Chains A and B, each alone.
Chain A
Amino acid sequence: MAIHPDLGSQLVNFCSALLLLTCFAIIAQRRLSACVDLFALQSVFLAVTAALVAFLTGAYHIYIAAALTIVIKVMILPRILKAVIERLNVTRELVLNINIPSSLLICGALVILAFYITQPIISLGFLLTQDSLAIALAIVLIGFFTMIARKKAVTQVIGFLVIENGLFLGATAAAYGMPLIVELGVFFDILVAGLIIGVYTHRLQDTFDSVDTSKLTGLKE
């Protein structure tokens, strides 16, 4: 059955907009476990978006990608992170590099920037993924910003994963997803990365008995 392309693009854009919103929520959130949940939520939206695109364009390998997203980003990784949080019993982040209101403002600026930058190439985008590229870029930037703004290792990891989500959205939206093998490779890498980071955070806790990465300033000139 065919859905009107405008409607399709509306849906896609709506989903990606939701992704963006979750980013802001993460920025605004101090409690770590909540951040993880939000990340999981974002991943769900992501999967939905992917599925939508797959459905609308008939590029079926994207279904697999969506499925993988659900498995890895909604199930496995949040578990790991939760576990870490449990073990470190750091529930909330009290001190931030940049306080929440200004963070939100900056993120707003970043979104505008993203639109501004991608505007010239949007035109070649396929109809129904019009603005997703811009949103993807915005998510990447915000994830990046999260890593700068937050101090705890866990939140930095979340920021990193948000970036990944942005990338995935970009890939899906802009190019109907990379070829399957690429997707698989990427997911594999993300998985391993998540594991290694988990290992590292454990070690950090053991050695520095804190995951406050801003304390890691032993090596300098």
Chain B
Amino acid sequence: MVQSSLSSVIVLYGAGIFLPFVFYRNPHLQNLVAHGAAMAASAAGVVLGLAGLWAPEPLTFSVPSNLPLLTFQVRLDSLASFFVLIISLAGLAVSQFAIGYVKEFEGRRSIGALGGLYNAFLLSMTLVVLADDGFFFLIVWEIMSLVSFFLVVTEHEKPETRYAGFFYLIMTHVGTAFIIVTYLIFYQQAGSFSFEAFRHPAAPLPEGFRTLAFAAALIGFGTKAGIVPLHVWLPYAHPAAPSHVSALMSGVMIKTAIYGLIRVYFDFLGGTFPWAWGFIILAIGAVSALLGVMYALMEHDLKSLLAYHSVENIGIILMGIGAGMIFQSYGLSNLAALGLLAGLYHTINHAMFKGLLFLGAGSTLYATHTRNMEEYGGLIRKMPWTAVFFLIGAVSISALPPSNGFVSEWLTFQSLFLSFQIPDVLMKIMLPIGAAMLALTGVLALACFAKAFGISFLAMPRSVHAREAREVPWAMRIGMAEMALFCIVLGIAPMLVIPMIDRVTAPYTGVSIAGRVLSENGLAVMPMGVGFASISTPVLGLLLAILIPVGLLAAVAVGKKIRKRYYHTWGCGINLKPRMEYTATGFAQPIKQVFSMIYRPTVKLETEMLEESHYFAKRMRFETHIEPVFQEYLYDPVVRVLNHFADRLRVVQAGSLHLYLTYIFITLIILLLWVR
């Protein structure tokens, strides 16, 4: 069962990589073959994930390589299976979407390359979570980065795309270097790169090295996950990629980093660490969440906005995991499990709704050929389906009940609130503050998506693009529908998800909390029993479903049948033009004002007066930018210094033969003296 599905996953993706080049004559066929294969493989992947989750003990398969220290070994334990499940679910819907979306590239791009790379991307991600050997892991990890880079630069004739891709590649490579350091530290004690040896090293790792491994892993995986301040590449790279790829990158790829962190901290380091680690993770999570959403609010490029929200959600996930780590270090296994549960639950949720939102953004892009929200508007009437799906995604990411986002954020809140069981007063006070930041994040996210949806889909078209928009083809709609379905199921059926995640956390925390967290009838989720706190999304959903008609009934009861008249919106007498509408910029203005210390906005206002009078403006030009703090103060200086340094050293290669001879001569003398 497992073996067959594993092999079919690999074979099908492989087919997806190579077959398209066979049909190079017919791009359309290539498209179908590539993404069809991807869908089949993802379906097999779903089976694999579920099978692995419910398998009694981890399964291992390995292929030898003649190279030292390298064996191609995969291990299907519950953690890996869970992430395989995430990847495959997302892959399923996205591939479906891609069949329609990639049509746009036919003729302009080599569909074979695009489809092949797409399959390679999915395969590499699957192998990353399956790998059971550090060396093998790094290889597939690098391949994953490389392939995603190529997908990012699909439209490489645009300079900004090239910049984005390059920036991404460098950052992720730096991250990889840190991961290598992490593994080398483990290797030193283990004497091999197999994860089994990492788990049970010959000699226990010295404390200093444990801390080093912690930090290195945090930086290494954090770069990929996009935690502040290592997130800078993310808002460039994710929007630059074709939308279905962005969906995978934002929804799934950055989750492999979460996987890596859990793998290292809970598996290799055995889940025993000082509370400070958990606190660092929590703090980073909180900061990432807050800054992520704040920068998102300032974006008018729909895809960049979503990209920043990935930073935010990674932050929320890390908050859950961080809380779990803190509890773990205080030996509160149940709560640790709860924290991890919250984190992982949000992981799968984010994969789904962020995927959905990116697909939605892709559809609008497909229909309007622009990513600038200021040029959207009124799309809900042109493309009703897309609007509905996007709305579902927006509600979910804003964590409004009864959506899936609500469940996981609620769980995070609870695990933070339960800090009162920690003996340490500092933590007791810090975690609620984290909760407050989470609350702020939540509402800002709500505001942001109210803006995103409102400005893009509601009111009047703001540009000719929007006016001429058409609903997207069925293939894409179905893809979005699948994603939306996953979101809803995850939302109203926590009783299905929680036992699954429980199987993941149980080995690391040593306790299984599924029974405790779910009420007998499975309707309610409750961290500590109903007396403490509980939610039941199914019931809430039902409640809303019932109460909406109630309002209707009330209306009918009191005021007979409805009489309705349509008329233009009142625009102070003048009849309304799109230009008079509230813009995204305007919408975000108050928030920019309030948090100006973070945004450091620069405003430029040029006014041309009429010749006759200096009171009437002919035309005004208003520009506002927010300062990219991290790039300006963290990254650019490094590059500048490096280049300056290199430039100064040109003199070394000055072209003079005598100089060159002198180098050799001096080296010779020095070495000779050294020997003596």
From B183-191, B378-386, B405-413, B650-658, the one touching the partner chain is B650-658
B589 within 8 A of A: no
Say if the beta carbon of A221 comes within 8 Å of chain B.
yes
Q: Which of A117-139 contact B (CB under 8 A)?
A: 117, 120
Q: What is the bound-complex CA distance between A29 and B302, given in angstroms?
A: 79
B655 touches A220 (CB 8 A): yes
A148 contacts chain B at the CB level, 8 A cutoff: yes
Per-residue 0/1 for A188-221: is the Cβ within 8 Å of any B Cβ (1 yes, 0 no)?
Answer: 0000000000000000000000000110111111
CB B666 to nearest CB in A, in angstroms, measures 10
Q: How far is the CA of A203 from the CA of B67 in the complex (A)?
A: 51
A145 touches B665 (CB 8 A): yes
Contact flag A213-B657 (CB < 8 Å), given A117-B676, A148-B662? yes
Are A113 and B665 within 8 A (Cβ)? Answer: no
Is B574 among interface residues, defined by CB-CB distance under 8 A? no
Contacts of B662 in A (CB 8 A): 148
Partner of A220, one of B654, B658, B665, B673: B654
The CA-CA distance from A69 to B672 in the complex, in Å, is: 29
On whether the beta carbons of B654 and A217 are closer than 8 Å, the reply is: yes
Distance between Cα atoms of A120 and B675 in the complex (Å)? 11
Complex alpha-carbon distance, A147 and B668, angstroms = 15
Which parts of B76-125 form the interface with A (CB within 8 Å)? none
Give the distance to chain A from B572, nearest Cβ to Cβ, in Å.
67
Q: Give the docked Cα–Cα distance between A168 and B658 (Å).
A: 25
Once the chains are docked, how many angstroms separate the CA of A113 from the CA of B673? 8
Given known A113-B672, A117-B672, A117-B676, contact A220–B650 (CB-CB < 8 A): yes
A97 and B653 form a contact (CB under 8 A)? no
A148 touches B665 (CB 8 A): yes
B657→A216 contact, CB < 8 A? yes
A97 touches B672 (CB 8 A): no
Distance (whole angstroms) from the CB of A212 to the closest CB of chain B:
11
Q: Give Cα A221–Cα B656 distance, bound, in whole angstroms.
A: 11
Residues of the A chain whose Cβ atoms lie less than 8 Å from the Cβ of B668: 144
Q: What B residues does A148 contact at CB under 8 A?
A: 658, 661-662, 665
Complex formed: what's the CA distance from A171 to B665 in Å? 21
* Number of A-B contacts defined by CB within 8 Å: 42
Verify B658–A214 contact, CB threshold 8 A.
yes
Chain B neighbourhood of A218, CB < 8 A: 655
Please name all residues of chain B whose beta carbon is closer than 8 Å to the beta carbon of A117 when the two chains form the complex. 672-673, 675-676
Q: Which of B652, B655, B657, B673 has the most CB of A within 10 A?
A: B657
Does the CB pair A221–B653 fall under 8 Å? Answer: yes
- Contact partners of A113 in chain B: CB under 8 A: 669, 672-673
A217 to B669, CA, bound (A): 26
| Chain A interface main SS type | helix
B673: chain A residues at CB < 8 Å are 113, 117
**Using Cβ atoms and an 8 Å threshold, which residues of chain A touch B654?**
217, 220-221
CA separation between A144 and B658, bound complex, in Å?
11
CB distance from A39 to the nearest CB of B (A): 19
Query: Which chain A positions have C-beta within 8 A of B656?
Result: 214, 216-217
Question: What CA separation (Å) do A58 and B667 show in the bound complex?
Answer: 39
Query: From residue A29, how far is it (CB to closest CB) to chain B in Å?
Result: 19
In the complex, which residue of chain B has the Cβ closest to the Cβ of A120?
A: B676
Q: Give the docked Cα–Cα distance between A105 and B669 (Å).
A: 16
Pairwise interchain contact A219-B676, C-beta atoms closer than 8 A: no
Q: Is the CB of A221 within 8 A of B658?
A: no
List the B side residues contacting A214 at CB < 8 Å: 656-658
Cβ–Cβ contact B676 & A216, under 8 A: no
Residues of B626-660 contacting chain A, CB below 8 A = 650, 652-658
CB distance from A161 to the nearest CB of B (A): 15
Q: Please measure, in the bound complex, the distance between the C-alpha atom of A117 and the C-alpha atom of B665, giving whole angstroms.
A: 15
CB of B665 to closest CB in A, whole Å: 6
Interface string of A104-115 (1 = CB under 8 A from B): 000000000100
| Chain B contacts for A221, CB-based, 8 A | 650, 652-654
CA distance A216 to B676 in the complex (A): 36
Docked Cα-Cα span, A97 to B662, in Å, equals 12
Which residues of A from 39 to 60 have beta carbons under 8 Å from B? none
Question: In the complex, A37→B301 CA distance in Å?
Answer: 81
Interface centre among B650, B652, B655, B675 (most CB of A within 10 A): B655
State in angstroms the CA–CA spacing of A113 and B672 once bound together: 9
Taken together as a complex, chains A and B put the C-alpha atoms of A216 and B660 apart, in Å, by 12
In the bound assembly, the distance between CA atoms of A216 and B662 in angstroms comes to 16
Question: Which chain B residue shows the least CB distance to A156?
Answer: B657
Q: How far is the CB of B655 from chain A (nearest CB, A)?
A: 3
User: How far is A205 from B665 in the complex, measured between Cα atoms in Å?
Assistant: 27
Residues in chain B near residue A216, CB distance under 8 A: 655-657
Max chain A Cβ within 10 angstroms of own Cβ: one of B658, B672, B675: B658
Query: Do B655 and A97 have beta carbons less than 8 Å apart?
Result: no
- Binary interface profile of B, 589-611, with partner A (CB < 8 Å = 1, else 0)? 00000000000000000000000
A220, B676: Cβ atoms closer than 8 Å: no
Contact present for A147 and B661 (CB under 8 Å): yes
Task: Give the 8 A-B residue pairs with the shortest CB-CB distance, closest first.
Answer: A220-B655, A217-B655, A221-B653, A221-B650, A148-B661, A117-B672, A213-B657, A220-B654
Q: Known contacts A117-B673, A117-B675, A217-B654; can you find 5 more A-B pairs with CB under 8 A?
A: A145-B665, A217-B655, A220-B654, A220-B655, A221-B652
21 residue pairs of the A-B complex, CB under 8 angstroms, read A113-B669, A113-B673, A117-B672, A117-B676, A120-B676, A144-B661, A144-B665, A144-B668, A145-B665, A147-B658, A148-B658, A148-B665, A151-B658, A213-B658, A216-B655, A216-B656, A216-B657, A217-B655, A218-B655, A221-B650, A221-B652
